[in-house]
Every structure is written in C-alpha cells, then in structure tokens.
Structure 1
C-alpha cells in the first residue's frame, strides 16, 4: 500500500476548505436576496465565487502530492495504484451517489404529488438538467467530461466528475518513474499555460465553457502538484515574513475578487495562499485552524454536496405553501438566507458522521481486503 498513514494533516488547508465551502454556499444562496440589496451590484466577490471551486482543485493537487509523495522517483506498483484509486473512489463516490439518489427521489415524489390524470407523467426528466443520458453519466461520474453543455442533476457534483478525471491523471503519474514523470509534468504545464493564456486572451471566465470542465480542473490540479514540488522553499522563510506574505496575498485576492479582475490573476493568488500556508505557520494559519473554520473544513464535502438540493427544496416549498415570494422584502430575504445557512449545518454534520465517513471506511476496508487477499493468493 502507498505509505501515507503517517503524514501530518495540514490543518490550515482543512480550514481553507471550510472557508471555500462557505463562500460557495453564499454564492448559490445569494439568488434569494432582495434586489434592493443585490450584492452583485456592490461587489464582484460573490459573482466570482465559482473560482473557489478552482481553489478546491488546487488544494486537491497539493494534498494528493503531499500524501502520496509525488516526489518519490520510483514508479508505484500496480497494487499500490489500486489502493490509491480505492481510497479516492471511497472519498467522493458514496456521497455523490447518495445525493444523486436524493435528487432523483425528490423529483420522483414531486412527479407523484403533481400527477395529472389528463396528461402524461412528468417532472422526473426534462431536456436540460435532468435527462436520462445525464443520469447514466452521473452514475459513472463522467458527466463533466465534455459531453454536456451545463451541470446536471445534483449541480455541485460536476466538480466530483472533474476531480475523478484529475485522480486518474495522478494515478498515471504515480505509475511512471521520476524522470518520465518530470517530462510529463512539463508537457502538462504547457497545456495549462495554453489554457490560461487562451482564457486571458479571450477575456473569458473559466466557467464559461462547461465542456472544458475537465481541462479546467486538471489545470488547477496540476498547479497544486507543481506547488508541492516547490513547497520546500517556504521552509526557509521566517514566520514574520511568512505572515506578511499571507496577509498581502489574502488582501490582494479579496481585492481581485471584489473588482472582478481576470480569473487567472485570482487563481494565481489562490495558489500562493495554498503554498504559504502548508506548513501551518504564520498568522493566517492561526486563523484558519481556529475551531469554526477547521470544523467547517471537516464538514466541507457534505456542505458542498447537500446545499444546492436544500436550496432547491426550500425555494419551491416556501413559495408553494406560503404563497409569498422569497424576495418580498429585504429583511425577509436576509432572514430566509440565514435560516438556510443554519439548516445546512446540522444536515452536513449528520451526513458527515452517518453517511460520508462510514461509507468511506467501509469501502476502503472491504475493497482493500479483497485486493490484499487476491494479491497474496497470486504470489503464494
């Protein structure tokens, strides 16, 4: 098995995941806010919130490289690669499947409730977000690999599909020796440079072309890998200088998002923040490892996967049962958003403790045991 059990957790990165998840939730919930206090008229911070998903990909590339020691020159054995893929599958697929089933059941029940004997059965499938083809692609977690024009079914799951694409690239990197791995990384780096250069040249946002989602994710993921390979440079920087860099990078990133500066600049600043926090040193790291942010980081995956369905159900049920528009008043809309945020927390905690972690542990133990038995029998 790939040695990773003794790797120290980067607690600051866990806190960063919590921060990013909270921002993504706010980005999606802002549609409930009354037009009189529309945040997008005051700042581009939330309208540029999709970039925090790219931030997730950068973090993932860095953490995978850290955990699985991408700098190790020897190629990994087939059994080790298999263990890695099982761990990655256990990390993302169980909660993806559960949330997908929940979304399907929601629309199925909605179809039953709204049954019209004079017309055909409806509501489960449509021609855009919820087609049968998209459902099959979601089951195989390939729906962000360039086959659809936009997100489908449980909308946040597109990033898991793109993440799986990155995991497979990483597995291929682990399977080759250090010299060839460096060559492949150089080639991939040119692809990343071309992708971001094209984005800048065309003045387009990275989320404009959904069919390029896998390329978008792989580009950010590769940035994370490269960051890790140069991470030792940070060790020589004293804590007070590191704090200065962290504060400057954070302020500059917030300003870049506020003013809506080109995405590539913000992604570069996000990458810098990942790099300068990985040793858990400096003032920013102390903030990120406080209990609220660190705990949000632990629950971030569940927060991310359930919040959009919660938003959809709340929006439709509120207006259906009360007959009141969510945007009937500024105070009412803010109260509704606050209630949704409060609702997301216990659901995510429950999901993490009783769905996400038990399913992950069961798959890892079960599948790794099967692999070990098969491997032992083969070499007996």
Structure 2
C-alpha cells in the first residue's frame, strides 16, 4: 500500500469556516430573520470538499471497500445518531406529533429512514429531517456508497477546457435546480406535498453535482493543469469574488446560492499552501475549527434551541449575553468532538485496524 498523502491544512481550515457559516446561517434563520449576515449555502462547499478529499485519500489500486465503508460510518454515524435521538426525544415527539399534521405512523417511518440515513433519497425518503442539518449527511451517505465507488474507477476528462466546462455545468445545474425547486417546507416534520416533485430531488442533485465537481477539481490538482495554475495564482482574485458575491447578496442583487459557482475554484486555490489565504486557513485556530467542524455542523441546531430556551430570544439579550453564548457553544462543540465524535470513531475503526495489523 502506498503511503498516505500529507494533510492539506488549508482544506481542513476551509471546512471549519464552512461549518461556522452554516451554523450562523441557521441561527439567523431561526431567530434573526430580518438581520442578514450569513447563509447556509456553505453546505455545497462541504460536498465539493468531500469529493476532493476522498479522491485525494483513496486510490483505485489499493482501496478496500470494507475498510472504506467502515471509515465512512465511523466518521459520520455516531454523532449523527446521537443528535437524531436528542432532537426526536426533546423536540419532535413531545411537541410536534399530531394526528392531523404529523401522525405517529409518519413519525416512526421518518425516524427509521433517518436512522438508515435514507431521508434525503428521493423515492425512498420523505425529505423530513428532525435535526435540520442532517439532510446533507443523508446525501453524503449516498455519495459515499453509490457515487464515489463509480467515480474512483473513472478517468476525468483529459482536456483542461473540458474539465473546466464540466465544473461550470455541474455547479450551474445545481444552482438552477435549487433556485427553481428548493422547498424548505419539506424539512418540517409534518404532512406536506410540494408544488413540484422536483423539490424531492434538489438536495440529492445538489450534493451529487458538487461532489462530482470536487472529484474533477482533484483531477486538476493531481495533474497540476492550467486551471490549477490559474486558481492557485489567482487566490486573492477568487476570494475577492467571494466577498463581492456576498455583498451583492446582501443588497438583494443576486441569490446567495450563487456562491456555490465559486466553491470548486476556491477549493483548488486552497491546495496551494503558500498563498496568504491558505496560510490563514491552515493556521492553528482555523485548522482546529476544521477538526471539530462535523461536531459544529451536527450539534449547532440542537444547541441553539437549548440556548434560546435558557436565555430567551436574541432580541431580548443584553450585549453581555452574546460572548457568553459564544463561549457556551464553543465549549459544547469541543465537548461533543472529544466526548462523542472522536471516541466513537476510534472505537469503530480500531477492530478493523487491529485485524489489518494481525493479518500483516
């Protein structure tokens, strides 16, 4: 087996920034709807990073799928399941089970689908997610189980121009589907039928297209092609473009989801560890945020609801409450990583590692 590749620290930091952006976006949507400062479309950056990272880590000539799936389950499932149970037991079952809006039979069906991480799979899942961010974990699971094994043994287009065209088309198609058919009401635990059946497919296509774009981005990185050269040398330009799109979104000039059009190029630019942006993303604070990014992502929704239950709505908070809440949130993010995520991940992977050592 070939030695593992070195960590690209900037990508870890980028994942941490994405997690914080999603958390702030959900906080705004829940409690500060008239005070925009962030959106949750950084989830699309997660998908692109996943496509790149898995392609970076796994090689077709030495992958063992049993090891691969064990590692994927260990990475996402324990904390996913814990937060699902907490939200179900503390919020959904006592507060939202109703014979007319959300019958027990539908709730049980949704629970089982979420346990199996199938809730975002069209024709199988209902699109309901008790822990709001969990929809993307279901989509990631689809990419892990079905999409990546196919991509791993495929060759990306040889031409740099074709690779660029594929990235643009994938991102633009995902953006178009989101703008036309995304329906946030599907997420709510209740009986609901969207206007368009395409709404059931938006989340899956959104993840599949961004994940595939990340796979193509890895090909550009691996070949060190002209697109890689442009992005790494134009890191400042790309990040300036991100800032410009955010400003335009604040002014309601564009849909904030347009940011996803830049994410593949931002990921490619971040692979150059020498740029100012990459050094900042790879710094210890942001790198640490990247390490706990999954805990941030999976626990923030539950945590925000708990914070409001204790302190009331943010509109009533004194200025001193904000740093206190920020400190509590950070402590809980770190705690869930140290107490739940990392120990459970290591416990699941350890028997497999011991088996490999014994066999060798």
> What per-residue deviation string (whole Å, max 9, x for no partner) do you get for residues 190-246 of structure 1?
79947844853895375663543122111110110111111213665697x444334
| Aligned counterpart for 1:255 among listed residues 237, 247, 250 | 247
Unmatched 5+ residue regions in structure 2? 185-198
Q: Is the 8 A contact 2:48 2:212 kept in 1?
A: yes
Q: Does 1:172 align with 2:170?
A: no
TM-score normalised over the length of structure 2 = 0.78
1:155 and 1:34 mapped to 2: Cα distance?
Answer: 17
Other-structure match for 2:180:
204
Q: Sort the Cα spacing of 1:257 and 1:285 in 2 relative to 1 into closer, same or farther, 3 A.
A: farther
Instruction: Quote the Cα distance in structure 2 between the aligned partners of 1:172 and 1:33.
Output: 41
The answer (yes or no) to whether the contact 1:99–1:305 under 8 Å persists in 2 is yes
Residue from 298, 308, 313 that aligns with 1:326: 313
Contact 1:302–1:352 at 8 Å: present in 2 too?
yes
- Cα distance 1:357–1:250, how it changes in 2: closer, same or farther (>3 A)? same
The match for 1:272 is: 265
Could you tell me how far apart the structure 2 residues matched to 1:338 and 1:151 are?
33
Query: Equivalent residue for 1:160?
Result: 137
SS at match of 2:11: helix
- C-alpha RMSD of the superposition: 3.6
CA distance in 2, matches of 1:293, 1:362: 26
State the partner residue of 1:361. Answer: 346
- In the TM superposition, residue 39 of structure 1 has moved relative to its aligned partner by 1.9
Structure 1: runs of 5 or more not aligned: 70-74, 112-121, 319-324
Residues 12 and 277 in structure 1, CA contact (< 8 A), matched pair in contact too: yes
SS in 2 for 1:30: helix
Call closer, same or farther: CA 1:238–1:360 in 2, change over 3 Å: closer
Change in Cα spacing, 1:327 to 1:51, as seen in structure 2 (3 Å) is closer
Structure with greater Cα Rg: 1
The alpha-carbon deviation at position 151 of structure 1 amounts to 3.7
The answer to whether structure 1 residue 80 and structure 2 residue 64 are counterparts is yes
Structure 1 equivalent of residue 192 of structure 2: none
Secondary structure of 2:117's counterpart equals coil
TM superposition shift of 1:97: 1.2
Aligned residues: 332
User: Relative to structure 1, is the Cα distance of residues 39 and 161 closer, same or farther in structure 2, using a 3 angstrom cutoff?
Assistant: same
Does residue 133 (structure 1) correspond to residue 109 (structure 2)? The answer is yes
